[in-house]
């Protein structure tokens, strides 16, 4: 029988960073066996609150109790010893370690004899049992870097959910989940929810997600944060997505969420063409063209090769074969330096690994792609004042919360870091943007703002290649949708604003099912 008393109680939790208040007098409870949702816009204080609960930062005011006893963790390890585990918004695995080493990281001393001899077989056996129980379905002796992004996320989830009880012997741990599903494909997402549902009898969860539908589906209660304060606590069964959006953002969600009424008509000049693109193990025989003012969506499962194609088009990871042509220019091998000069920008999917340098200030991260021309004089002198002014303008235009030109990017929330990456290209006169999951980890209100920005860019004639795992985003934003399966293009689907394809039609192409819809124009 699950006890009724709360596992974790927080009262009046407050945290300030310099002049900004990130968390303001927050009261929150997590009961035994409960799944508690926590939602809010980027910068609302969600990650800061999780950092406090997991011992990474200490609150400036307020009290916490865990299992009826005072809780003041002196660090992440101390919180873990009390039964607080966490899945971070950005993956925290070490790629060159084996899966079993990542699953049992920091617990190696439990598998040594005489303090020196490592019992590797015992580690592998336990880690394999954890992986099997967590539904990962991989050999734990594999290198972590060999797993897909989705499988690596499942490794993190299994580690947080299962290590406290199976390794540390903690009864009824509390698992903090910070955007756990953002990197999962559909199959692994189902594995995740099955695991959480099964574990709620032996653990409690604090579930942070920008996907409001899944928060409502999984949670017992939902706390809504706005500007660092709890503005509502709702019974999930009595709430709906529109209500949550209104509480988070301060306005109801726009009926035209994807700004489909602003979708431009194609028929302009071609910005970029590609032919015969091939990269071993990723994609082959890819041909495409994107026009000025068009959003060409690229969809597919996580193993489809769509992200690798995005890098190949620009020469970030050059293809083995194939050519691209920018505007009316010559056919050439993709080259990132030439693409930059020709006005092409790229937003990667893995923000911390490829998008920003977290320790650098906001202004530096924005100017990274433009040092040679936009922010340096003809004599090579750095134009610091101009860099600061441009950064201020971008911060204002994109509503990058908590940001100032000299503030380190690591102090921003994930969604606001993503806006900094986008700003890097918006401060230039770009002709084409290649965007790989540009709204991953971004809240509903900020997504709507980014969608409006993309529509303004296309109205000005900028071409966009949109690679995304979000089907509704793919459908709502795109003029045409290119579907990939196992590295090959399986179809190109028209997506006019008055006749958008359905999710079922696109999934059929992604899975290679028979009976392709008649709206497919090419394959």
Per-residue pLDDT of the chain (523 residues; tens, 9 = 90+): 344 556 899 999 999 987 678 899 999 999 999 999 999 887 788 989 999 999 999 999 999 999 999 999 989 999 999 999 999 887 889 999 999 999 999 888 888 887 778 889 999 999 999 999 999 999 999 999 999 888 999 999 999 999 999 999 898 999 999 989 887 888 888 999 999 999 988 999 999 988 888 999 999 999 999 889 999 999 999 998 888 888 887 766 666 888 898 998 777 799 999 999 999 999 999 999 999 999 999 999 877 999 999 999 999 999 999 999 999 999 999 998 889 889 899 998 877 778 889 899 999 999 988 877 888 887 888 889 999 999 999 999 888 887 899 999 988 877 788 889 989 998 888 899 999 998 887 777 778 888 988 999 999 999 999 999 888 899 999 999 999 999 999 999 999 998 999 888 888 888 875 444 333 333 2
Cα 76-77-82 angle, rounded to 5 deg:
100
**Which pTM does this prediction carry?**
0.70
Q: Give me 9's structure tokens.
A: 């109680």
CA 98 – CA 118 distance, rounded (Å): 15
CA 472 – CA 258 distance, rounded (Å): 9
DSSP code at position 352: I
Beta-carbon contacts of residue 393 (< 8 Å; ≥ 6 apart): 427
Q: Give me 456's structure tokens.
A: 């303004």
CA 255 – CA 43 distance, rounded (Å): 24
Query: How buried is residue 301: exposed, middle or buried, by Cβ count under 10 Å (0-12/13-18/19+)?
Result: buried
- Domains, the chain: 6-249 (3.40.50.300), 268-343+430-523 (3.40.50.300), 356-428 (no CATH)
CA 175 – CA 196 distance, rounded (Å): 10
CA 55 – CA 129 distance, rounded (Å): 29
């Amino acid at each position: 029988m699950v006890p009724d008393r709360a596992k974790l109680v927080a009262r009046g939790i407050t945290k300030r960073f310099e002049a900004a208040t990130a968390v303001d007098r927050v009261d929150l409870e997590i009961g035994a066996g409960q799944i508690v949702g926590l939602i809010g816009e980027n910068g609302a204080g969600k990650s800061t609150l999780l950092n406090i609960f997991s011992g990474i930062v200490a609150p400036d005011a307020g009290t916490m109790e865990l299992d009826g006893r005072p809780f003041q963790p002196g660090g992440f390890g101390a919180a873990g010893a009390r039964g607080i585990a966490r899945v971070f918004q950005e993956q925290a695995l070490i790629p060159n370690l084996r899966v079993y080493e990542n699953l049992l990281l920091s617990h190696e001393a439990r598998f040594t004899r005489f303090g020196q001899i490592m019992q590797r077989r015992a580690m592998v056996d336990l880690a394999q049992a954890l992986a099997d129980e967590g539904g990962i379905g991989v050999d734990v002796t594999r290198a972590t870097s060999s797993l897909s992004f989705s499988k690596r996320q499942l490794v993190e989830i299994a580690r947080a959910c299962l290590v406290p009880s199976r390794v540390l012997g903690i009864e009824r741990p509390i698992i903090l989940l910070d955007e756990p599903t953002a990197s999962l494909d559909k199959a692994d997402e189902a594995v995740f929810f099955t695991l959480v549902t099964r574990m709620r009898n032996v653990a409690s969860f604090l579930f942070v997600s920008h996907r409001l539908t899944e928060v409502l589906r999984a949670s017992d209660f939902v706390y809504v944060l706005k500007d660092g304060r709890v503005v509502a606590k709702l019974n999930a069964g009595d709430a709906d997505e529109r209500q949550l959006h209104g509480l988070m953002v301060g306005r109801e969600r726009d009926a035209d969420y994807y700004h489909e009424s602003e979708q431009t008509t194609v028929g302009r000049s071609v910005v970029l063409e590609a032919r015969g693109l091939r990269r071993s193990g990723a994609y082959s025989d890819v041909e495409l063209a994107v026009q000025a003012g068009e959003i060409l969506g690229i969809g597919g499962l996580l193993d489809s090769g769509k992200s690798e194609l995005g890098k190949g088009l620009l020469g970030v990871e050059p293809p083995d074969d194939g050519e691209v042509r920018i505007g009316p220019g010559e056919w050439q091998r993709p080259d990132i330096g030439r693409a930059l000069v020709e006005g092409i920008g790229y937003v990667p999917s893995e923000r911390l690994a490829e998008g920003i340098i977290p320790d650098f200030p906001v202004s530096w991260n924005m100017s990274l792609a433009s040092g040679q021309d936009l922010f340096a004089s003809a004599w090579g002198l750095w134009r610091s004042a101009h860099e600061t002014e441009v950064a201020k303008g971008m911060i204002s235009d994109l509503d990058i919360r908590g940001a100032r030109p000299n503030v380190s990017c690591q102090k921003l929330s994930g969604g606001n870091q993503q806006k900094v990456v986008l700003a890097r290209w918006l401060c230039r006169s770009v002709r084409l943007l290649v965007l790989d999951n540009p709204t991953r980890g971004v809240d509903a209100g900020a997504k709507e703002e980014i969608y409006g920005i993309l529509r303004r860019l296309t109205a000005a004639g900028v071409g966009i290649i949109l690679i995304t795992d979000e089907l509704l985003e793919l459908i709502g934003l795109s003029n045409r949708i290119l579907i990939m399966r196992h590295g090959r293009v399986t179809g190109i689907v028209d997506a006019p604003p008055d006749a958008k394809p359905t999710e079922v039609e696109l999934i059929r192409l992604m899975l290679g099912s028979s009976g392709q819809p008649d709206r497919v124009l090419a394959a």
